[in-house]
C-alpha cells in the first residue's frame, strides 16, 4: 500500500512540475473521471466570497463552483453529494458585465466531503493529492458600471447561473493601499531610445488570483533595491507598469532585449520550490540594419521557464538548433505582440496557439482575464485585473541594474561568479557578476537578470552557456536559427562585455511616498484621472477610508485604533465582548486628514476623543459610554478623508 501511495504521489509531483496549474487541473480532473465513470453530474453549487456576491466596481471576488452529483455503487445503490470535478465552461452572460479568470484551487477552508473518492487508485489519489484535485474557483472582475450581472457555468450538460451585484457601497476587497508613485524618468543620454520605442512590444499579460503580482513593474517598486522583501511588499508597492530594456549592436544587426519584472512567481498551490520571490522573463528582437532608421525586424525569441521560443517576420529564416514556432503578430506594423502568462510569467509569441492564451484579433484572453500594455512613455496603472491599452514606460537596464551587478551588499543580486561563454566567444570585463536576483521567500535566488538566463536545449547541448543568449545574442541567434543574409559576430556596442560602452552611473528613481486609501470618495466618478488608477483589485488609489467596529459594551470603553488594529480599554464596567472590526485600509499616518465618527447603532454615547497625530503615533481613540442597565450592542464607523 505504501509503495502505491508513493507512486501516486510521484505522478502528481511530476505533473505539478511539468504543467501549469491550469493544465494540472485538467490532468487531475481527467484521472478523477476515469476512476469514477459511474458518477453523474446533477447540479452546481456556487460559493461567493463574500456570501452575498456583492463587489465594488473594478474589484475582484472569488467564486467557487462545487459540482454536485451521484455515484452508483457496485450493488446498484446510489451515493449523492459533491463530486471531485472541476466546473466546466464559465462566462459572464452580459457583454459589459465583467470577466472571470482561469480556474484555481479555492483558497479558503473547503468543506470537502467528496462522494466519488473511494476505491482503487482514486482512493490513493485522494489521500496524497487532495490539495490539487479540484480547481473549482474563478476570480470575478467587476466592470465599472454598477448593476446585477450573471455568471453562467455549464458542466457536463448541467447549466446553472449565479447573480453578482456590482455596488459602489459594497465592502472593499483591498487590505493594503499603495504607498509609492514614481514620477517621469530622465531619458536623456539613452542613445538607442528611439529604436526601442519604435519596436516596443505590446504585452498581453494574463491575470489570475494575485492580480497585482501579475503587473510588470520596476525592481524598486517598493522604493528599495532589496530583493528579499519584494514578495511581502507586493500590495504596498506601486502598480505602475514598466518594462526594462537593453540594446546590443553588431556590425549587421541590433538586438533589443525587453524584460518584464514581477515581484512574485506564484501559484494557487506552491510546492517544491515552484513559487519564488521575484521573476524576470524576457524577449530578444533581432533587427537587421538595412540602411533605414529602424531597420527590419527578422526574429523574436522569448523565454519561458528556461526554454526559448522563436518567431519570425521574415520567411527566409529557418530552424537551427531551435525550430520556428510561428510568425510574429504585429500591432500598428512595428509592435510585436507578446503573451505573458499569469503566475509564472513565461513569455510567448502573441499568436502562439499552443502556449498563448490571448487572441489579438478579438482582443480577448481566452483563458479569462488579463491586461494589455502598450508603450506610451508613461507608467500607468491598470484600473482592474481586466483592462486594455495600459501605458508602460521603458527603463534602461544599463543604468538601473548593470551598475549594481558587482555590489554584494545591497541585496539586489546574489550567486556571484564569472561569465563563461562557450565556442571561443569573448568574455566579460567584470570578473564576478551577480547572476541571480536576491530572493528568499518560497525559494531562494530563482529569478535571474538576462545575463543569468539559460535555455535548456542549448545548455544541454553545450552550445550556449548560462547568460550567453543575452550577453552574446549575435552568436546565440546564429546557432538557434538559420539566416540567409549577411551576419556579423563582432559587436559595435555591447557594454555588458565592455565593448563600445561609455562610463555609466546608476539611475535614481524620482519617487514620492503617498498614502492612498481604498475607498473612492462619495459622489465622485470611478473614472481614473490621467496618470493614476483606481485599481481597487490591485491596490487602490482613492483618498478616504474607514473602519467599522461592532462590540458589546457594559459601562465605558475606549477603542484605540492604530493601523489595522482596534484595541478596547475598559474605563468602567465589564469587559468588551463580541468585537468585530472591518478596515477598508489601514489608518493612514501623516497630516492632512479629516476625521469623523458615526454611531450606526447603540443606545449610549459614541464620540471621537483623540484624533491621529504625530504625538500619539497616528492612532485614534473612540469612547463609548453605555449608562443603561446591562450590556448594549454598538456599531460605529470612523471615517477619514484627505483634505
**DSSP string across 506-536:** -----EEE---BSBPPTT---SPPTT----T
Higher pLDDT, 205 or 503: 205
pLDDT tens-digit series, residues 276-289: 999 999 999 999 99
Model confidence at 133, in pLDDT bands (50, 70, 90)? low
Residue 50 preceded by cis peptide, ω within 30? yes
CA of residue 616 relative to chain centroid, distance: 37
Q: What is the dihedral of CA 470, 473, 478, 480, to 10 degrees?
A: 20
CA of residue 563 relative to chain centroid, distance: 25
- Outline which parts of the chain fall under CATH 2.60.40.1930: 2-166
- What's the mean pLDDT when you consider all of the chain? 87
- CA triple 24-26-32, angle to 5 deg: 105
Asked if pLDDT for residue 123 goes beyond 50, the answer is no
pLDDT tens-digit series, residues 172-189: 998 888 999 999 989 988
pLDDT at 567: 85
Cα separation, 37 vs 69, whole angstroms: 12
Model confidence at 543, in pLDDT bands (50, 70, 90)? low
State whether CATH 3.50.50.60 applies to domain 2-166: no
Place of cell 443603561: 628
Least confident of 92-101, 441-450, 543-552: 543-552
Predicted TM-score of the model (pTM): 0.77
pLDDT tens-digit series, residues 364-414: 998 799 999 999 999 999 999 999 999 999 999 999 999 999 999 889 999
pLDDT at 500: 92
Nearest to 368 by CA among 57, 50, 53, 87: 87
Mean pLDDT within 419-423: 97
Least confident of 456-470, 473-487, 505-519, 620-634: 505-519
| Angle between helix 21-34 and helix 120-129 axes, rounded to 10 deg | 150
Using an 8 Å Cβ cutoff, are 221 and 160 in contact? no
Q: What is the dihedral of CA 218, 222, 223, 227, to 10 degrees?
A: -80
Strands 433-437 and 413-417: antiparallel
Using an 8 Å Cβ cutoff, are 115 and 29 in contact? no
pLDDT at 566: 84
Asked if pLDDT for residue 637 goes beyond 50, the answer is yes
Nearest to 455 by CA among 326, 310, 337, 254: 310
Q: Any long-range contacts for 352-355 (C-beta under 8 Å, 24+ apart)?
A: 352/309, 352/311, 352/325, 352/326, 353/326, 354/325, 355/304, 355/309
Mean pLDDT within 501-518: 71
Nearest to 217 by CA among 96, 453, 382: 382
State how far the alpha carbon of 10 is from the alpha carbons of 6, 13, 85, 303, in Å: 6, 5, 22, 28
Q: What does the block give as the cell for 88?
A: 466546466
Mean pLDDT within 465-476: 98
Asked if pLDDT for residue 6 goes beyond 60, the answer is no
pLDDT at 521: 27
Would you say how long the chain is, in residues?
643
Higher pLDDT, 14 or 354: 354
Q: Any long-range contacts for 66-69 (C-beta under 8 Å, 24+ apart)?
A: 66/111, 66/136, 67/41, 67/136, 67/155, 68/41, 68/42, 68/43, 68/44, 69/39, 69/40, 69/41, 69/42, 69/43, 69/115, 69/116
pLDDT at 132: 47
Q: What does the block give as the cell for 502?
A: 561609455
Q: What does the block give as the cell for 330?
A: 504585429
Radius of gyration of the chain (CA): 28
Cα separation, 274 vs 383, whole angstroms: 29
pLDDT at 624: 96
Q: DSSP alpha helices (H): ranges in 291-414?
A: 397-400
Model confidence at 14, in pLDDT bands (50, 70, 90)? very low
Higher pLDDT, 524 or 290: 290
Three-state DSSP class for 443? Answer: coil
Using an 8 Å Cβ cutoff, are 318 and 324 in contact? yes
Q: What are the backbone dihedrals phi and psi of residue 276, each rounded to the nearest 5 degrees, phi first?
A: -160, 160
- CA triple 566-571-572, angle to 5 deg: 130
Cα separation, 36 vs 119, whole angstroms: 10
Asked if pLDDT for residue 210 goes beyond 60, the answer is yes
Residue spans of beta strands (DSSP E) within 401-529 = 413-417, 433-437, 481-482, 491-493, 511-513
Higher pLDDT, 122 or 380: 380
Asked if pLDDT for residue 233 goes beyond 80, the answer is yes
pLDDT at 217: 98
Beta bridge partner(s), residue 78: 72
- How close are the terminal C-alpha atoms of the chain, in Å? 68
Cα separation, 638 vs 609, whole angstroms: 12
pLDDT tens-digit series, residues 30-80: 544 444 457 899 999 999 999 999 999 999 999 999 999 999 888 889 999
pLDDT tens-digit series, residues 511-528: 877 644 333 322 223 333
**582, containing H or E segment:** strand 577-583
Mean pLDDT within 76-92: 92
Nearest to 260 by CA among 411, 392, 102: 392
Beta bridge partner(s), residue 206: 370
Beta bridge partner(s), residue 375: 392
Cα separation, 282 vs 293, whole angstroms: 24
Sheet with 577-583: strands ordered across: 577-583, 544-553, 632-642, 593-601
Q: DSSP alpha helices (H): ranges in 263-393?
A: none
Amino acid at each position: 500500500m505504501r509503495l502505491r501511495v508513493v507512486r501516486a504521489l510521484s505522478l502528481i509531483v511530476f505533473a505539478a512540475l511539468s504543467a501549469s496549474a491550469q493544465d494540472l487541473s485538467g490532468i487531475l480532473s481527467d484521472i478523477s473521471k476515469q476512476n469514477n465513470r459511474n458518477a453523474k453530474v446533477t447540479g452546481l453549487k456556487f460559493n461567493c466570497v463574500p456570501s452575498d456576491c456583492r463587489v465594488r466596481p473594478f474589484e475582484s471576488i472569488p467564486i467557487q463552483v462545487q459540482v454536485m452529483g451521484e455515484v452508483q455503487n457496485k450493488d446498484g445503490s446510489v451515493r449523492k453529494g459533491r463530486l471531485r470535478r472541476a466546473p466546466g465552461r464559465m462566462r459572464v452572460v452580459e457583454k459589459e458585465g465583467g470577466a472571470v479568470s482561469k480556474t484555481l484551487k479555492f483558497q479558503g477552508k473547503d468543506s470537502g466531503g467528496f462522494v466519488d473518492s473511494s476505491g482503487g487508485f482514486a482512493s490513493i489519489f485522494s489521500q496524497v493529492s487532495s490539495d490539487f484535485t479540484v480547481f473549482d474557483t474563478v476570480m470575478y472582475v467587476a466592470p465599472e458600471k454598477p448593476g446585477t450581472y450573471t455568471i453562467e457555468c455549464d458542466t457536463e450538460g448541467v447549466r446553472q447561473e449565479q447573480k453578482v451585484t456590482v455596488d459602489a457601497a459594497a465592502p472593499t476587497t483591498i487590505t493594503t493601499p499603495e504607498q509609492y508613485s514614481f514620477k517621469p524618468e530622465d531619458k536623456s543620454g539613452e542613445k538607442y531610445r528611439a529604436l526601442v520605442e519604435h519596436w516596443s512590444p505590446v504585452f498581453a499579460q494574463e491575470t489570475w488570483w494575485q492580480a497585482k503580482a501579475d503587473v510588470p513593474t520596476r525592481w524598486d517598486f517598493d522604493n528599495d533595491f532589496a530583493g528579499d522583501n519584494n514578495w511581502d511588499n507586493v500590495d504596498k508597492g506601486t502598480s505602475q507598469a514598466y518594462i526594462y530594456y537593453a540594446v546590443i549592436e553588431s556590425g549587421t544587426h541590433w538586438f533589443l532585449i525587453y524584460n518584464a519584472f514581477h515581484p512574485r512567481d506564484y501559484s494557487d498551490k506552491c510546492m517544491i520550490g515552484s513559487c519564488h520571490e521575484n521573476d524576470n522573463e524576457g524577449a530578444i528582437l533581432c533587427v537587421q540594419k538595412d540602411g533605414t532608421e529602424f531597420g527590419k525586424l527578422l526574429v523574436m525569441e522569448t523565454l519561458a521557464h528556461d526554454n526559448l521560443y522563436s518567431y519570425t517576420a521574415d520567411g527566409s529564416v529557418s530552424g537551427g538548433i531551435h525550430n520556428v514556432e510561428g510568425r510574429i503578430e504585429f500591432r500598428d506594423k512595428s509592435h510585436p505582440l507578446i503573451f505573458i502568462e499569469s503566475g509564472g510569467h513565461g513569455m510567448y509569441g502573441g499568436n502562439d496557439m499552443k502556449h498563448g492564451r490571448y487572441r489579438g484579433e478579438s482582443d480577448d484572453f481566452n483563458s479569462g482575464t488579463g491586461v494589455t500594455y502598450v508603450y506610451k512613455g508613461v507608467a500607468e496603472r491598470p484600473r482592474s485585473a481586466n483592462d486594455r491599452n495600459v501605458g508602460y514606460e521603458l527603463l534602461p537596464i544599463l543604468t538601473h541594474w548593470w551598475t549594481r551587478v558587482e555590489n554584494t551588499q545591497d541585496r539586489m543580486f546574489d550567486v556571484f561568479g564569472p561569465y563563461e561563454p562557450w565556442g571561443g566567444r569573448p568574455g566579460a570585463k567584470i570578473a564576478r557578476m551577480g547572476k541571480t536576483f536576491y530572493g528568499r521567500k518560497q525559494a531562494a535566488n530563482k529569478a535571474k537578470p538576462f545575463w543569468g538566463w539559460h535555455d535548456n536545449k542549448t545548455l544541454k547541448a553545450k552550445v550556449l552557456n548560462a547568460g550567453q543568449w543575452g550577453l552574446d545574442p549575435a552568436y546565440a541567434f546564429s546557432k538557434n536559427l538559420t539566416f540567409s543574409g549577411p551576419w556579423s559576430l563582432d559587436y559595435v556596442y555591447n557594454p555588458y562585455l565592455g565593448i563600445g560602452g561609455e562610463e555609466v552611473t546608476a539611475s535614481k528613481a524620482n519617487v514620492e511616498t503617498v498614502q492612498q486609501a481604498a475607498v473612492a470618495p462619495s459622489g465622485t466618478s470611478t473614472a481614473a484621472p490621467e496618470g493614476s488608477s483606481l485599481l481597487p483589485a490591485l491596490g487602490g488609489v482613492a483618498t478616504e477610508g474607514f473602519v467599522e467596529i461592532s462590540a458589546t459594551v457594559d459601562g465605558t470603553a475606549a477603542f484605540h485604533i492604530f493601523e489595522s488594529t482596534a484595541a478596547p480599554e475598559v474605563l468602567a464596567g465589564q469587559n468588551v465582548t463580541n468585537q468585530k472590526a472591518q478596515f477598508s485600509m489601514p489608518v493612514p499616518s501623516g497630516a492632512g486628514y479629516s476625521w469623523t465618527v458615526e454611531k450606526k447603532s447603540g443606545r449610549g454615547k459614541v464620540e471621537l476623543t483623540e484624533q491621529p497625530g504625530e504625538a500619539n503615533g497616528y492612532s485614534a481613540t473612540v469612547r463609548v459610554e453605555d449608562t443603561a442597565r446591562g450590556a448594549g450592542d454598538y456599531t460605529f464607523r470612523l471615517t477619514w478623508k484627505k483634505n
